[in-house]
Amino acid sequence: MAESAAPSSSKMPSEAPTSSSATKSEGPDPNLAPSVIVLGMAGSGKTSFVQRLTAHLHAKKTPPYVVNLDPAVRKVPYPVNIDIRDTVKYKQVMTEYGLGPNGAILTSLNLFCTRFDQVIDLVRARSSTVPLTIIDTPGQIEAFTWSASGTIITEALASSHPTVVVYVCDSARATAPATFMSNMLYACSILYRTKLPFFVVFNKADIVRPTFAQRWMTDFERFDEALEDARGGYSNDLARSLSLVLDEFYGGLKTVICSALTGEGMDEVLTAIGECSQQYRDQYIPLYAEIRAKKAEEAARKLKEEKDSKADDLTRDVQALDIGTVRDSDDESE
C-alpha cells in the first residue's frame, strides 16, 4: 500500500546525484558530517531553533544541509535542501485516505520512509561539503518517537554516519516543576529509545532565563522544594522518587542554554554537537560493528536451522515414502 500510495508527482530534489551504490552494505562511516535530529514537543521552538542554527552556520560561511520532515508545516523559514512536502502532499494524503490531521502526518511520514534510502544517499553525497546535516521533525513529537517510521529513519541515519539527537525544551513552559519533570522524563525516554548521543537545549532563554533549570538539575533539594511549593505542600512520593532518578540522568546529561530569537548559545550548540559526534565515533561505531556481526551470525544460524529443519522434513517425508510404496530405487535408502 505504502509504495503505490506515494503521489505520482513524487520526486526528490533534482540535485540528486546518483550515488546509491555507495551506501549499500558497508558500516557507518565515522568521517562523514554528523546528522542532527531535532526533537521537541510541539511549540517548543524546534523550527525556530533550526532556523537560527542554519542562519548561524550560513553567517560562518559553512551552510548546513537541512532536511524537513514535518509534512504539515505551512512555511519553512529556512533554506531547506530536502523537504518531505516535495515528496508527499499532506493535504492530498488527508483527502485520499480520509484521514484526520494526525493520521495524515503519520501516513505521510510512513510514505516518505519508503524513500528514505534516497535521502541517506543525498545526505552522504553532500557530507563532504557541509559541516552538518540538520533534520527538523514533525511538530508532534510522538509522531516521530513512537512511530515505526521515526524508528526506521533514526536507525537508517545512525547506521550510516554520526547521528546526534537534540531535545529542544521550552524554558518558558518548564518553569512549572511538574512540567519540567515531564519534559525531562520524556527526554530520558528518548535517550533509551534511540540510544544515540544526546543533549538537551533549553530554548527561549530570552523569555525566561533557564538558570532555574540548571539549579534544579544540580541541586536535588531545590527541585524538591519547588515541587512541594507548586503542589501546595503536597509532594507525591512518585514525583519525589522520580526526581532522584532524574538526578542520575542529569549527571551524564549535556545541556545548552540558547535562544532561537536572539541567537544566544549557538556556538555552544555546535560544540555540543561536536562532542556528541565524537561520542558516536568512540562508542557507537564499535557497537554497530558488533551488532552487525551478531545480526549476520543470527541470520546465518536461522538460515542453517531452516535448512536443517527442511532437511529433517525431507528425510521424514522420504522415510514415510519408504514405508509405503517406493522400493525399487537404489539411492533412496539414505
Partner 1 sequence: MKCLQLIIGPAGSGKSTFCSVMFNHFQSLRRPLEIVNLDPAAETFNYTPSVDIRDLISVDDVLEDEDIIMGPNGGLVFCMEYISQNMEWIRDQLTDGDDAYVIVDCPGQIELYSHLPIMKEIVTTFKSWDYNVCTLFMIDAHFVLEPEKLIAGALTALSSMVSLETSAVNVLTKMDQLSRENRKEVEDMLESDCSQLVDGVNDEPWNEKHAALTRAIATVLDDYSMFRMVALDNTDEESIEDLLLMIDTTIQYGEDAEVHDRIPEEVDPEEE
Using rule CB under 8 A, residue 182 touches partner 1: yes
CB of 4 to partner 1, least distance (A): 21
CB of 182 to partner 1, least distance (A): 3
Interface with partner 1 in residues 249-288 (CB under 8 A): 249, 251-252, 283-284, 286-287
Pick from 59, 244, 299, 303 the residue near partner 1 by CB under 8 A: 244
CA distance 223 to 281: 35
- Selected range binding partner 1 among 122-130, 160-168, 173-181, 315-323, rule: CB under 8 A: 173-181
Count of residues interacting with partner 1 (CB under 8 A): 58
Pick from 241, 262, 271, 309 the residue near partner 1 by CB under 8 A: 241
Burial track 7-36 (b if 16+ CB lie within 10 A, e otherwise): eeeeeeeeeeeeeeeebeeeebeeebbbbb
Using rule CB under 8 A, residue 56 touches partner 1: no
Pick from 3, 100, 320, 330 the residue near partner 1 by CB under 8 A: 100
Backbone phi and psi for residue 42, each to the nearest 5 degrees, phi listed first: -60, 135
Using rule CB under 8 A, residue 226 touches partner 1: no
Using rule CB under 8 A, residue 208 touches partner 1: no
Using rule CB under 8 A, residue 146 touches partner 1: yes
Pick from 37, 50, 53, 72 the residue near partner 1 by CB under 8 A: 72
Using rule CB under 8 A, residue 45 touches partner 1: no
- Selected range binding partner 1 among 36-44, 154-162, 260-268, 310-318, rule: CB under 8 A: 36-44
Pick from 32, 37, 50, 105 the residue near partner 1 by CB under 8 A: 105
Smaller CB separation from partner 1, 122 or 153: 153
Using rule CB under 8 A, residue 95 touches partner 1: no
Using rule CB under 8 A, residue 239 touches partner 1: yes
Q: What is the dihedral of CA 237, 239, 243, 244, to 10 degrees?
A: 30
Using rule CB under 8 A, residue 236 touches partner 1: yes
- Selected range binding partner 1 among 184-192, 207-215, 261-269, 311-319, rule: CB under 8 A: 184-192
Using rule CB under 8 A, residue 183 touches partner 1: yes
Residues that bind partner 1 (CB under 8 A): 41-44, 72-74, 98-103, 105-106, 139-143, 145-148, 151, 170, 173, 178-179, 181-183, 185-186, 188-193, 195, 236-239, 241-242, 244-245, 248-249, 251-252, 283-284, 286-287, 290
